[in-house]
Structure 1
């Protein structure tokens, strides 16, 4: 199974023009089974390059063989029209459950800017068995909010692992309760807006005393002796000031032995972030 995660910067390249077809071309060449995207926009003409088109619809149409799941965490109405901005997941494999979570957004007087952040979870029938694939885009400006979001993700992970331990599907229950099995095994990916030396990173992978399956950084698992490839700051974009890593794959340790490759596709300048690729046997 190949999973690609990419903050697409609403398709705005280094020339300030929106070319969503360039995003689509890169994704098609990578040939993923699951696509996880952040910063997808709809009806946002004021964004650089004019993101007025419904990119959720464009991307779903471009990958007709995939099942799309959208999560516009920011939805602001102007003239009764929703301006949407958020995450999207597309899966070639069958999805049998979807859960959408709004992450904490505690008031931070030191950082009045910001927007709601969310997490998509899809339970996918992958070739190696059911797995939860989750994608997110955490707060950038406020360390307080970002840490709260990291801790909530850890809580949701514990909750899923505990439910997997105690819950058995019951086909005799009313249809809304017939969720089927939801495993603890999971792949978390996205733009976490922290660097590998940050306390947020350490908090996410820190072991605890719960029954939750430990999370491991797929890059360090596959490339323990290689410097981490930057996922932003390439190709002359204004942000960030220097190239660094903001985008990751974290997975439960029961999947660790199945990881065959993790890499950053550094060639494309279609976004201010680079696509990251995870291959699992």
Structure 2
């Protein structure tokens, strides 16, 4: 199974030009992916730099025939008051994550992440999108997320929630509730323990949040960093600010990761950070499981 995780900044490249179709083309050039996990996909946010289209989730569906497109909205705000005067439809302004897959999708969960008050930092509601996929080698859970940028307090709370969600899934796997019927919403609650959690963690490699993500878990396999596991002793290349030195004026950093549960260690075949593309202010991660 091949997966790409990428903060695509609504299709905006390092020079500031928005072209979501180019982003998808570049992703296809990196791998014949089964799963594409994207952060910073928008709807109704045409006022963002570069002017993204009205509905990028719909754009992805058109660009990826044969794939199921799943969305999860973090920030969900009212329509831009000036939308009517520009002739654009008055869509709500939504900002979140998308997961595209050609694998069968069993279940989907949208987890709003904690957002503790922090008056010292700008912030927005963040979300983790979870899909249970029938993947080669067995069902697994794929979560794509994007943690808070400005507030460490909020990032740490969000990491704690991702860990709690893993423990919850492990408990469902061990103690599934019976289904009320085969056709109603009270379906069997069993979820696979195995998981990939990927995205922009806005936390530097080796930081407190990064270390907390890797800490042992009670009644569940812990998370490991796929890249570091396959490159023991090495320092990962930067994943943000490599080419866009305006937004990242303090320098590039490594803050995008693909974590997998420990039980997937032996299936890790390939994990690389592409350092060539300039189609975003972030670099994509390409992960392959045997």
Q: Give the alignment's TM-score, normalised by structure 1.
A: 0.95
Residue matched to 1:176: 185
Is 1:117 aligned with 2:117?
Answer: no
Is 1:214 aligned with 2:215?
Answer: no
Post-superposition CA distance 1:22-45 (Å, at most 9, x none): 101112222210010000112212
Residue matched to 1:96: 106
TM-aligned CA deviation for residue 170 of structure 1? 3.3
| RMSD of Structure 2 on Structure 1 (CA) | 1.5
**Runs of 5+ unmatched residues, structure 1:** none
The SS at the match of 2:76 is: strand
Residue matched to 1:63: 64
Decide whether the 8 Å contact of 1:96 with 1:123 is kept in 2: yes
Is 1:85 aligned with 2:86?
Answer: no
TM-aligned CA deviation for residue 173 of structure 1? 6.4
**CA distance in 2: counterparts of 1:172 and 1:77, whole angstroms:** 39
Residue matched to 1:246: 255
Is 1:234 aligned with 2:235?
Answer: no
Is 1:255 aligned with 2:264?
Answer: yes
Residue matched to 2:231: 223
Deviates more, 1:38-47 or 1:178-187: 178-187
Residue matched to 2:15: 15
Decide whether the 8 Å contact of 1:97 with 1:179 is kept in 2: no
TM-aligned CA deviation for residue 225 of structure 1? 2.5
Post-superposition CA distance 1:91-117 (Å, at most 9, x none): 110001000000000101221x11100
Is 1:31 aligned with 2:32?
Answer: yes
Residue matched to 2:116: 106
Post-superposition CA distance 1:27-66 (Å, at most 9, x none): 2222210010000112212211112431111112111111
**CA distance in 2: counterparts of 1:168 and 1:261, whole angstroms:** 36
TM-aligned CA deviation for residue 237 of structure 1? 3.2
Decide whether the 8 Å contact of 2:271 with 2:288 is kept in 1: yes
Decide whether the 8 Å contact of 1:38 with 1:191 is kept in 2: yes
Decide whether the 8 Å contact of 1:6 with 1:190 is kept in 2: yes
Runs (4+) of structure 1 exceeding 6 A deviation are none
**CA distance in 2: counterparts of 1:190 and 1:37, whole angstroms:** 8
Q: Give the alignment's TM-score, normalised by structure 2.
A: 0.92
